[in-house]
A and B are shown apart, each in its own frame.
Chain A
Amino acid sequence: MSGLGNIIKKEFKELFTPATFVPIILVALIFGTMGNSIQGIQEQAKEKPIIGLINEDDDTLATITSSILYNNSKVIFNSTSIDDKQIAIDELKQKDGVALIVIPKNFTKQMRNESPGEIEIYWIMKGAGVMDTISSGVLQYLINYINTNLSKELIQDNSSVNSSFVLNPTKNIETTYFKDREFKGLTPDIIVSMLSSQSMLIPIVIMMIIIMAGGIVITSMALEKENKTLETLLTLPVKRTSIVTGKIIAAAGIGLILAIIYMIGMSFYFQGLQFSEGGISLAEYGLVLDSQDFLFIGISLFVTLIAGLSLCMLLGTFAKNYKSAQTLTFPVTMLALIPMFLTIFADFDTLPLALKGIVFAIPFSHPMMASRALIFENYMFVISGIIYVSIFASIMIIIVVWVFKTDRLLTGSTKKRKINLRQPLLLNLIRRR
Chain B
Amino acid sequence: MITIEVKNLVKNYGKIEAVKGISFNVNEGEIFGLIGPNGAGKTTVLRIISTLLKINSGSIKIMDYDIEKDADKIRKIISYLPEDAGAYKNLTGRSYLQFIANFFDPKKNQQMVEKGIEIADLDERIDDRVDTYSKGMMRRLLVGRALMINPKLAILDEPTSGLDVINAQEIRKLVKNTAQAGTTILLSSHNMLEVEYLCERIALISEGKIVEGGKPKDLMNKYNANNIEEVFTKVVKQ
Contacts and interface: CB of A to CB of B under 8 A. Distances in A.
A383 B80 CA distance: 47
Contacts of A235: 50-52, 75, 78-80
A433 B56 CA distance: 13
A238 B87 contact: no
B88 A229 contact: yes
A160 interface: no
Contact of A237 (B12, B14, B104): B104
A236 B86 contact: no
A228 B86 contact: yes
A159 interface: no
B72 A229 contact: no
Given A235-B51, A238-B103, A411 B13 contact: yes
B68 to A, nearest CB: 7
A407 interface: yes
A231 B78 CA distance: 13
Contacts of B53: 407, 410-411, 415
Contacts of A236: 75, 100, 103
A7 interface: no
B74 to A, nearest CB: 9
A113 interface: no
B82 A232 contact: yes
Interface in B60-104: 68, 72, 75-76, 78-80, 82, 84-89, 100, 103-104
Interface of A: 227-229, 231-232, 234-239, 406-407, 410-411, 413, 415-418, 433
A406 B54 contact: yes
Contacts of A415: 53-56
Nearest to B87: A229
Nearest to A407: B53
Contact of B84 (A228, A407, A417, A418): A228
A229 B99 CA distance: 12
B85 A239 contact: no
A238 B13 CA distance: 26
B7 interface: no
Nearest to B142: A232
Contact of A232 (B12, B85, B104): B85
A7 B57 CA distance: 44
A231 B57 contact: no
A365 B145 CA distance: 45
Contacts of A238: 75, 103
A227 B86 contact: yes
Given A235-B51, A239-B72, A227 B100 contact: no
Given A228-B82, A231-B47, A235-B52, 12 more contacts: A227-B86, A227-B87, A227-B89, A228-B86, A229-B88, A231-B85, A232-B80, A232-B85, A235-B75, A237-B103, A410-B53, A418-B56
9 contacts: A229-B86, A229-B88, A232-B80, A235-B52, A237-B104, A238-B103, A406-B54, A411-B53, A415-B54
A428 B198 CA distance: 42
Contact of A231 (B13, B52, B55, B100): B52
B14 A413 contact: yes
A138 to B, nearest CB: 59
Contacts of B76: 237
B52 A413 contact: no
Nearest to A242: B103
Contacts of B54: 406-407, 415
A45 B161 CA distance: 72
B82 A433 contact: no
A245 B93 CA distance: 26
A417 B56 contact: yes
Given A229-B87, A236-B103, A237-B75, A417 B52 contact: no
A237 B50 contact: no
Contacts of B85: 228-229, 231-232
Interface in B99-116: 100, 103-104
Contacts of A413: 13-14
Given A227-B89, A415-B54, A410 B47 contact: yes
Nearest to B14: A413
Q: Give the 4 A-B CB pairs with smallest separation, nearest first.
A: A228-B86, A415-B54, A227-B86, A235-B80
A413 B79 CA distance: 25
Contacts of B87: 227, 229
Interface in B124-166: 145
A234 B51 CA distance: 8
Contacts of B82: 228, 231-232
A77 to B, nearest CB: 70
A416 B79 CA distance: 27
Nearest to B78: A235
B192 to A, nearest CB: 25
Interface string B202-227: 00000000000000000000000000
A124 B233 CA distance: 89
A239 B88 CA distance: 20
Contacts of A237: 72, 75-76, 103-104
A192 to B, nearest CB: 47
Contacts of B75: 235-238
Interface in B12-58: 12-14, 47, 50-57
Contacts of B55: 415
A263 to B, nearest CB: 29
A410 B86 contact: no
Nearest to B82: A231
Contact of B57 (A232, A410, A417): A417
